[in-house]
Structure 1
Amino acid sequence: MTRKLSFALAAACLVALPFAAMPFAALARDTSQDQVLKASVLDGWTTAQGTRMAALRLDLAPGWKTYWRSPGSAGIPPQFDWSGSENLKSVRIHWPAPSVFHTNGMQSIGYKEQLVLPVELIPKDPTRPIRLEVSLDMGICRDICLPAEVELNAGLMMPGKRDPLIDAALAQQPKTGKEAGLSSITCAVEPISDGLRLTATIAVPVQGKAETVAIETADQTIWVSQAVSSRQGKVLTAVADLVPTTGQPFALDRSGVTVTVISDSGAVELRGCPGG
């Protein structure tokens, strides 16, 4: 497990809510991954484009959750290693719209009790089947947090068949800006002592109750703070700090910025954020 994941896990565990009748250490010791997490591969089907639409299925015990690709201040980012696979050129993950959780005043973003994560597999040779091997490091949390290490493999013979669970997860993907009625999006950037402050102005109708904005950059080494958002009519504004490992202002690749608006009704994903 990487240092980054271990540090995030430790931080999340520090804010976990211990049971009154049992010390935290005892809880962690008495709970194992196998008790609260089951993982499997859904084989899926070969698409008309020659890719393979499969999925990772994660079933969690009641009350347990895991995290989205950008997990928030109290979450643990999942990390994937596909290098053991055969005839696999690349992987495109189709994230379903996540939910937002609040614990002790801290925000996390993820999925509760079950996640079907569609993965579109691009083969090196479309005429041959893919042998999938994936290692997944992830965090799973309820009143405590545990590191989970999942090893999955599957031989994906052609052509496969459609799976209603994968279809349902694909239908839960975030809407595009056009689908959400987006009029415009702009990002203003100003330097701060250790990086940049980004203000996203999003002209889009209300998407649902309790809108939360998540901001990501293409460079995953850049730390992004929890966005502070507000709405005035059809205009949603979100402000977040971007801090690189250098701790200095930097040139931001605006085309690599992703802004996601999450609500109880789903999510909207906006890629690219030009200047005003």
Structure 2
Amino acid sequence: MDRLIALALCLVLHALPLRAESLDSIVSAELRPGWRLPDGSHMAALHLRLAPGWKTYWRSPGEAGIPPLFRWTAAGGNTAGVSVVWPTPHVFHQSGLRSVGYKGEVVLPLRVRLRDGNADAQIAGTIELGVCKDICMPHEVSVSAVLPAAARAPDPRIAAALADRPLSRDEAGVGAVRCAVVPSAGRIGLRATLDVPRPGGAVETVIETADPSVWVTEPDSRWENGALVAEAELRHVSGGTFALDRSGVRITVLRDGQAIDVLGCTG
């Protein structure tokens, strides 16, 4: 449902769509094979290159974006699972709406869990992306690679992307995180208060929940009494009532080209 809403917004706001096949010249994708980790898992990466002026989206793309969707195939039988490590994204404002994502090129590290950490593995996948310039369009790319067990040297591009991940709550020195919930018919008002060091520049926030069926509006972020306050409205796609698990609330603070990833809040 969120993907349909985001796509509708993009197509309404912008011009007529490009032919889908022309997007192959706008975005290219490859899997960087990476290296085997000491715990027997493997660090690879999806490397996306976009034409000048084009962008693609983060895991939570905002009201004007299209969320990426990954479909991985355990080719060869040694791949047990794949998780994406998201580098710090950028915030874009266009036509009065905010989106969150990347421009130019982005390396998305992939931590691949293996059944046998001493054997080669294969990974293949199809990724649905949103790409946007003056128009926004969905696009699909397919990638595959062999992950050699003998590869031990880190890939510098993947290592740089890993270093650009958001800081954890402890790394950033975040104190208490409190969530006040105001329920009403079919929606919930959420006010999150974070004891986080104040930067010199502007701050924006993204709020997510553990339930993908819950739509979260763009937060109103501001400083009050030395704390960062983010207020948003949450709605279930069914339009009905729902319960909010505060431990699953995820707040990303974007500031000065860095990000802080905060999971969970108290009442």
On whether the aligned pair clears a TM of 0.5, the verdict is yes
Specify the code of the residue in structure 2 equivalent to 1:51.
Answer: S
Contact 1:44 1:52 (C-alpha < 8 Å) held by counterparts = yes
Give how far 1:166 is off: 0.3
Give how far 1:31 is off: 7.8
Extract unaligned runs of 5+ from structure 1: 17-23
Instruction: Name the structure 2 match of 1:162.
Output: 154
Instruction: Name the structure 2 match of 1:20.
Output: none
Matched, 1:224 2:194: no
Matched, 1:107 2:105: no
Q: Which moved more, 1:181-190 or 1:72-81?
A: 181-190
Q: Which moved more, 1:48-57 or 1:176-185?
A: 176-185
Identical-residue share of aligned pairs (%): 42
Q: Which moved more, 1:204-213 or 1:258-267?
A: 204-213
Find the partner of 2:166 among 166, 174, 178. Answer: 174
Contact 2:20 2:139 (C-alpha < 8 Å) held by counterparts = no
* Whole-angstrom CA distance in 2 between matches of 1:105 and 1:154: 40
Give how far 1:66 is off: 0.3
Specify the code of the residue in structure 1 equivalent to 2:236.
Answer: P
Specify the code of the residue in structure 1 equivalent to 2:214.
Answer: I
* Whole-angstrom CA distance in 2 between matches of 1:206 and 1:155: 44
Specify the code of the residue in structure 2 equivalent to 1:123.
Answer: L
- Aligned residue for 2:167, secondary structure, equals coil
Matched, 1:197 2:186: no
Instruction: Name the structure 2 match of 1:42.
Output: 32
Cα 1:29–1:154 shift into 2, 3 Å: closer
Give how far 1:127 is off: 2.6
* Whole-angstrom CA distance in 1 between matches of 2:21 and 2:198: 41
The CA RMSD measured in Å over matched residues stands at 1.7
Specify the code of the residue in structure 2 equivalent to 1:131.
Answer: Q
Instruction: Name the structure 1 match of 2:72.
Output: 82
- Aligned residue for 1:8, secondary structure, equals helix
Instruction: Name the structure 2 match of 1:21.
Output: none
Contact 2:10 2:137 (C-alpha < 8 Å) held by counterparts = no
Specify the code of the residue in structure 2 equivalent to 1:271.
Answer: L
Give how far 1:232 is off: 2.6
Q: Count residues with an aligned counterpart.
A: 265
Q: Which moved more, 1:86-95 or 1:162-171?
A: 86-95
Instruction: Name the structure 2 match of 1:19.
Output: none
Find the partner of 2:226 among 215, 222, 234. Answer: 234
* Whole-angstrom CA distance in 2 between matches of 1:156 and 1:254: 38
Contact 2:117 2:149 (C-alpha < 8 Å) held by counterparts = no
Instruction: Name the structure 1 match of 2:9.
Output: 11
Contact 1:208 1:265 (C-alpha < 8 Å) held by counterparts = no
* Whole-angstrom CA distance in 2 between matches of 1:83 and 1:221: 25
Specify the code of the residue in structure 2 equivalent to 1:162.
Answer: P
* Whole-angstrom CA distance in 1 between matches of 2:214 and 2:183: 14
Contact 2:108 2:161 (C-alpha < 8 Å) held by counterparts = yes
Cα 1:152–1:126 shift into 2, 3 Å: same
* Whole-angstrom CA distance in 2 between matches of 1:72 and 1:8: 8
Give how far 1:247 is off: 2.1
Give how far 1:265 is off: 2.6
- Aligned residue for 1:75, secondary structure, equals coil
* Whole-angstrom CA distance in 2 between matches of 1:82 and 1:156: 14
Instruction: Name the structure 2 match of 1:28.
Output: 18
Q: Cα deviation per residue 1:93-127 (whole Å; 9 max; x = unaligned)?
A: 11001010000110000001111000100012223
What is the TM-score with the length of structure 2 in the denominator? 0.94
- Aligned residue for 1:63, secondary structure, equals coil
Specify the code of the residue in structure 2 equivalent to 1:150.
Answer: V
Cα 1:7–1:242 shift into 2, 3 Å: closer
* Whole-angstrom CA distance in 2 between matches of 1:91 and 1:197: 34
